[in-house]
């Protein structure tokens, strides 16, 4: 199991917080929610890959939203830390990252959701993984889920775009069939356009054939955290 904790702070925000850098460096994600405040883009970068600023990403950015700071951010961070831990327990082998207020789960050919070459059918091994994920999602209903499909650059670009769409939608549809509300999902696909790894190597191409999920707090969780922190209207 590989779990990665990281928080990426935009350049200008980093300059403003230079005096607090040492404290942030040694903080866990729950504590970072208090120190860092409103950052953005880190989860988007983890989900998309190399071209966060490209067109067509506004919908995902709107769903993710900004990082909640202060005591409310601390409360959200604690909840998301616990949820990430539960995902690790249910899905051994998946790569789970806690980034800002969210959780990013990467599924490639070696870590949980498998597709045969040129196929998008959810097989038995993938069903087991997704069943574990849906179990955790039911335990934490105050989150929204982004499902994003990618391919490597082998073959025709238009075909790859359709394949990534079909795979991302297959994952979304399967999770909805397990009883998760369709309103929690945003599904996107990029084909070969947003590689995260080097397509010139077999290992890089394998990792680029991936479906990535981002789990982020919904508005209800944010408002509840603000109320608990005494920051509500």
- Domain assignment of residue 148, yes or no: yes
For 100-115, the pLDDT digits (tens) are 899 999 887 776 777 7
The CATH number of residue 135's host domain is: 3.30.1330.60
Residue 161 lies in a domain: yes
pLDDT of residue 119: 82
Residue 119 lies in a domain: yes
pLDDT tens-place string over residues 50-104: 555 555 566 677 777 778 888 999 999 999 999 999 999 998 878 899 998 999 9
Per the structure, the complete domain to which residue 47 belongs is given by: 2-228
pTM of the model: 0.78
- pLDDT at position 227 over 60: yes
The answer to whether residue 233 sits within a structural domain is no
Of all residues in the chain, the percent with pLDDT exceeding 90 is: 47
For residue 134, tell me if it sits in a domain: yes
Q: Please state the domain count of the chain.
A: 1
DSSP conformation letters of the chain? -EEEEE----HHHHHHTGGGHHHHHT--HHHHHHHH-S--SHHHHHHH-S-TTSTT-HHHHHHH-PPP-HHHHHHHHHHHHHHHHHHHHHSTT-EEEEETTEEEEEE-TTTT----TT-----HHHHHHHHHHHHHHHH--SEEEEEEE---S-S-HHHHHHHHHHHHHHHHHHHHHTT--GGGEEEEE-TTSS-SS-TTSHHHHHHHS-EEEEEEE-HHHHHHHHHHTT---
Mean pLDDT value across the chain: 79
Residue 218 lies in a domain: yes
Residue 93 inside a domain? The answer is yes
């Amino acid at each position: 199991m590989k779990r990665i904790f990281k928080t990426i702070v935009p350049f200008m925000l980093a300059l403003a917080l230079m005096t607090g850098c040492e404290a942030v460096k040694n903080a866990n994600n729950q504590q970072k929610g208090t120190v860092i405040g409103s950052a953005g883009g880190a989860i988007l970068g983890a989900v998309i890959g190399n071209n966060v600023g490209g067109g067509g990403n506004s919908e995902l950015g709107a769903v993710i939203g900004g990082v909640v700071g202060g005591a409310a951010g601390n409360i959200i961070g604690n909840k998301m830390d616990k949820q990430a831990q539960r995902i690790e327990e249910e899905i051994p082998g998946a790569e789970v990252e806690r980034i800002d207020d969210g959780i990013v789960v990467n599924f490639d050919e070696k870590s949980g959701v498998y597709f045969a070459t040129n196929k998008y059918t959810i097989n038995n091994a993938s069903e087991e993984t997704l069943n574990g994920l849906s179990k955790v999602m039911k335990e934490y209903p105050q989150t929204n889920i982004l499902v994003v499909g990618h391919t490597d650059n082998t073959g025709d670009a238009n075909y790859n775009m359709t394949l990534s769409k079909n795979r991302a939608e297959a994952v979304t549809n399967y999770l909805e069939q397990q009883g998760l509300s369709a309103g929690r999902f945003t599904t996107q696909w990029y084909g070969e356009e947003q590689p995260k790894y080097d397509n010139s190597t077999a290992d890089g191409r394998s990792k680029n054939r991936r479906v990535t999920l981002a789990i982020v707090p919904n508005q209800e969780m944010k408002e509840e955290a603000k109320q608990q922190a005494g920051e509500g209207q």
